[in-house]
Chain A
Amino acid sequence: MAVKPRIKLDKKEAKKGDIVEVKALVSHVMESGQRRDNAGNTVPRKILNKFVCTVNGKQVFAADFEPAISANPYIQFKFRAEESGPVVLTWTDDDGSTIVGEESIKVS
């Protein structure tokens, strides 16, 4: 699935030790598995259940999502700038597929 997440860092360049804020939004139905369709059948659950952010390969933040996360999940968090490198955000779907987005940070 070619979903492109929208990712925004509050700064592209940071001094070592600065706190960088990340905001990310991804399109996804986040079907809770609680709803029923018109025929009365339960709509099977399909959510993004895991989120991981790495900076230069090191994990800085992660989250496990439950069906109580809204559709088109939004996530905002912070990390401490230590070294320059790619900021990679990965969401994992119930079906095992992943949605990956990448930004970069320059640390001086």
Chain B
Amino acid sequence: MTLIFNRRQALALGAGAVGAMALGAPQTLAKNDSEEAIRKFTGGKTPAQGKIKLELPEIAENGNTVPMTVTVESPMTAQSHVTDVLVLASENPRSGIATFHFSPASGVAEANTRIRLASTQDVIAVAKMNDGSFYMASKQVKVTIGGCGG
């Protein structure tokens, strides 16, 4: 046990040192490309907080199928509506979960599906409005059994 711990510690130290020397890149909290995906989606704009309601269980016993509802506050008229909602996972092997496309014909900007979560992490939703503004919300889900099947 001690041996394994030491080896891991050594590996972590080694990797950290190499990373710091080679890249000197700013450390980010997210393990995957979720931040880059948000940047790509918003075109570099920083999304404002609010307007989005993310409904997810606090604790998901089975990460293979976690029910998720995302609702964006909007009158959904031709003048003011939500066009796209990007949903991301901060620590899945790949950040993308889904992108929902709405229009005034949707009536309500709401979608529900079931998602896979590999481990305890944040689910992030970014909404794009027709006027070019962005809103963001996130919610942490504790996952008991990971759902990316290995």
B-binding residues in A (CB < 8 A) = 19-20, 32, 34-36, 55, 58-71, 73-80, 82
16 contacts between A and B (CB under 8 A): A20-B107, A60-B105, A63-B111, A67-B116, A68-B89, A68-B115, A68-B117, A69-B114, A71-B65, A77-B100, A77-B112, A78-B107, A79-B107, A80-B76, A80-B104, A82-B105
B94: which of A55, A59, A68, A76 is its contact (CB, 8 Å)?
A: A68
Give the chain B neighbours of A71 by CB distance below 8 A. 64-65
Q: Which residue of A lies closest to B108 (CB)?
A: A78
Determine if A35 and B110 form an interchain contact, defined as CB atoms under 8 angstroms apart: no
The 0/1 profile, CB within 8 Å of A marked 1, for residues 112-134 of chain B is 11111100000000000000000
Knowing A61-B101, A63-B100 are in contact, say whether A80-B107 is a contact too (CB < 8 A). yes
Determine if A76 and B112 form an interchain contact, defined as CB atoms under 8 angstroms apart: yes
Whole-angstrom CA separation of A63 from B100 in the bound complex: 4
A-binding residues in B (CB < 8 A) = 64-66, 69, 76, 89, 92-94, 96-108, 110-117, 147-150
Knowing A62-B101, A65-B98, A75-B113 are in contact, say whether A70-B106 is a contact too (CB < 8 A). no
Knowing A68-B116, A69-B115 are in contact, say whether A36-B150 is a contact too (CB < 8 A). yes
A66: which of B64, B94, B101 is its contact (CB, 8 Å)?
A: B94
Knowing A55-B105, A63-B99, A82-B105 are in contact, say whether A73-B114 is a contact too (CB < 8 A). yes
Determine if A80 and B150 form an interchain contact, defined as CB atoms under 8 angstroms apart: no
Give the chain B neighbours of A73 by CB distance below 8 A. 113-114
B116: which of A61, A69, A77, A79 is its contact (CB, 8 Å)?
A: A69
Determine if B116 and A35 form an interchain contact, defined as CB atoms under 8 angstroms apart: no
Determine if A64 and B115 form an interchain contact, defined as CB atoms under 8 angstroms apart: no
Give the chain A neighbours of B116 by CB distance below 8 A. 32, 67-70
Q: Which residue of B lies closest to A23 (CB)?
A: B112
- What would 16 more interface pairs be, CB under 8 Å, given A34-B148, A61-B100, A70-B65? A36-B150, A59-B101, A59-B103, A60-B106, A63-B98, A64-B101, A68-B98, A70-B64, A70-B114, A71-B65, A73-B113, A76-B112, A77-B100, A77-B106, A77-B110, A82-B105
Nearest chain B CB to A28 CB, angstrom units: 12
Whole-angstrom CA separation of A66 from B149 in the bound complex: 15
Whole-angstrom CA separation of A61 from B98 in the bound complex: 13
Determine if A79 and B105 form an interchain contact, defined as CB atoms under 8 angstroms apart: yes
Determine if B115 and A70 form an interchain contact, defined as CB atoms under 8 angstroms apart: yes
